[in-house]
């Protein structure tokens, strides 16, 4: 793999990995959903960057796109799962994050 491609992938994949770790540490489903959205956006940026890179060989581009797609699928699944759980519990409101009532 070309060193430029490797450096570019490291830039995106390290940040996405840190965000995935932050999902594991987050305490509320709403926060996990927000972090998942950030990771999904970063994954999409990685895919767009690799897709539009003209000087990359077919093999390097295929591997980079596959890595980006793996993270896109993982982050889309976590965004959906935690977003759905947070909305069912009432943690997501149209007016923003509000303090939950004591039950």
Asked whether residue 98 is domain-assigned, the answer is: no
Burial of 59 (0-12, 13-18, 19+ CB in 10 A): exposed
pLDDT of 85 reads 86
Decide if 94 is inside a domain: no
In this structure, is residue 99 part of a structural domain? no
State both tokens at 9: 């992938």
| Band of residue 73 on the pLDDT scale cut at 50, 70, 90 | very high
* Mean pLDDT along residues 16-34: 90
C-beta separation of 35 from 74 below 8 A:
no
The answer to the question of residue 11 being in a domain is: yes
Q: Is 96 a member of any domain?
A: no
How many domains are there within the chain?
Answer: 1
pLDDT tens column, 3-23: 877 888 888 889 988 998 999
**What's the pTM?**
0.78
Residue 74 lies in a domain: yes
Where in the sequence is the domain holding 7, given as residue range(s)? 3-89
pLDDT (tens digit, 9 = 90+) per residue, 90-103?
766 665 555 555 44
Cα within 13 Å of Cα(53), Cβ side: 22
- Helix and strand numbers (H, E) in the chain are 3, 0
d(CA 14, CA 103): 40
> For residue 37, how many C-alpha atoms fall within 13 Å in the half-sphere facing its CB?
7
pLDDT tens, position by position, 46-61: 899 888 888 888 888 8
Token duo for residue 30: 């709403």
Residue 19 in domain? yes
Read off the pLDDT of each residue in 79-90 and give the average, rounded to a whole number: 86
Q: For all residues of the chain together, what is the average pLDDT? A: 84
Assigned domain for 68 exists: yes
């Amino acid at each position: 793999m070309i060193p430029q491609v490797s450096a570019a992938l490291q830039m995106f994949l390290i940040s996405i990995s840190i965000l995935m770790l932050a999902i594991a540490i987050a305490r509320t489903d709403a926060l996990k959903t927000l972090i998942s959205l950030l990771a999904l956006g970063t994954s999409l940026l990685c895919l767009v960057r690799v897709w539009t890179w003209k000087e990359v060989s077919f093999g390097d581009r295929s591997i980079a796109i596959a890595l980006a797609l793996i993270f896109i699928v993982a982050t889309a699944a976590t965004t959906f799962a935690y977003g759905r759980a947070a909305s069912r519990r009432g943690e997501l409101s149209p007016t923003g994050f509000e303090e939950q009532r004591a039950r």
